[in-house]
């Protein structure tokens, strides 16, 4: 008997997603097979309309597949109701969005602590963990600042701190540098790389920028709702 292999961060088998648009069925994903292991650093690349955003939403458990199987951390999402799915998002996935998605008039500390609120963590512990997360992204001096008073780079670092605060297995980053200038984009990418290397969190980033994609150890190319090429190999 061999020791059981640790569950993959994501495992997709014949994943499909179609939408109804004005009565017409549009297939966004047409059968994706994919396996992303713990601690990987992956870029999902593709032109707009390729289905990469849909894939991202499915991996992030924000959406459900029309058919096929998706396992997150070994759990088949089809077996989870909306409440359990929300809990899964809360505990295993950290999100970083292109447009940051921070609460503009809420201090950085409270923005970062928000995932812990939904986990029922007591306030003192929330503050301690949010402070630590903000220090980790180099914003220990801006705890009480509101996002509206911060630069784009700082805002994205707050968002990364928020993604990290709950000790997720995976960070899903959707065009994390898309709204940033080169220098800030560079800084954010560095942060994600360090995060991946230091704490072993898997990072899955969706991008259409070749330079950003080039920094990932594995690149998955998506086109027309299918995986076109995978530099890491689906079995790994």
Partner 1 sequence: MRTAEALRMALEALRVNRLRSTLTMLGVVIGVLAVVILVAIGTGAKNAVEKEIAGLGSNIILVVPGQVGLGAAPTQSRLDLSDVAYVRRVVGDPAKVTVAVNSGEPVRVGRTEVFATLTGTDQNLPNIFDRPLRRGRYLSATDVDTRRRVAILGAEVAAKLFGDVDPVGRQVTIAGVRFRVIGVYETVGSTFGVARDQEVHVPVTTAQRLIGLPRINGIAIGASGPDEIEPLQRRVVAALDARYPDEKFSAVTQTQLLGTIGTVLTMLTGVLAAIAGISLLVGGVGVSNIMLVSVRERTKEIGLRKALGARQRDILGQFLIEAVLLTTIGGLIGILLGVGGALLIQELSPVPAAITWWSVALAFGVSAGVGVFFGVAPARRAGRLDPVVALRAE
**Smallest distance from partner 1 to CB 211, Å:** 26
The three-state secondary structure class of 43 is: strand
Does the protein bind partner 1 through residue 90 (CB under 8 A)? yes
CB closer to partner 1, 89 vs 218: 89
Contact string (CB under 8 A) for partner 1, positions 4-43, x = contact: ----------------------------------------
Whether residue 114 contacts residue 162, with contact meaning beta carbons closer than 8 Å, is answered with: yes
What is the Cβ-side half-sphere exposure of residue 162, based on CA atoms within 13 angstroms?
Answer: 28
**Smallest distance from partner 1 to CB 56, Å:** 10
Whether residue 3 contacts residue 165, with contact meaning beta carbons closer than 8 Å, is answered with: no
Does the protein bind partner 1 through residue 82 (CB under 8 A)? yes
Residue 50 CB partners (closer than 8 Å, separation 6+) = 222, 223, 224, 225
**Smallest distance from partner 1 to CB 234, Å:** 25
CA 215 → CA 32, 171, 196, 227, distances in Å? 23, 16, 12, 19
The residues that touch partner 1, with contacts defined as CB under 8 A, are 57, 60, 62-63, 82-83, 86-87, 89-91, 95, 97, 101, 103, 105-106, 114-115, 117-120, 123, 162, 166
């Amino acid at each position: 008997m061999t020791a059981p292999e640790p569950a993959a961060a994501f495992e997709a088998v014949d994943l499909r997603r179609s939408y109804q648009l004005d009565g017409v069925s549009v297939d966004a994903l047409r059968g994706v097979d994919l396996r992303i292991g713990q601690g990987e650093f992956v870029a999902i690349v593709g032109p707009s309309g390729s289905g990469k955003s849909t894939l991202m939403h499915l991996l992030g458990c924000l959406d459900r597949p029309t058919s096929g199987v998706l396992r997150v951390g070994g759990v088949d999402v089809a077996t989870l109701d909306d409440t359990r799915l929300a809990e899964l998002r809360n505990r295993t996935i950290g999100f970083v969005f292109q447009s940051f998605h921070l609460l503009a008039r809420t201090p950085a500390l409270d923005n970062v602590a928000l995932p812990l609120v939904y986990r029922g963590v007591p306030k003192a512990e929330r503050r301690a963990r949010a402070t630590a997360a903000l220090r980790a992204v180099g914003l220990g001096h801006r705890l009480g600042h509101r996002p509206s008073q911060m630069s784009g780079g700082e805002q994205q670092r707050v968002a990364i701190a928020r993604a990290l605060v709950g000790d997720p297995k995976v960070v899903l980053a959707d065009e994390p540098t898309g709204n940033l200038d080169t220098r800030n984009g560079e800084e954010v990418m560095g942060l994600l790389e360090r995060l991946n290397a230091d704490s072993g969190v898997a990072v899955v980033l969706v991008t259409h920028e070749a330079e950003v994609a080039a920094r990932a150890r594995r690149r998955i190319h998506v086109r027309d709702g299918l995986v076109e090429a995978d530099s890491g190999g689906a079995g790994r």
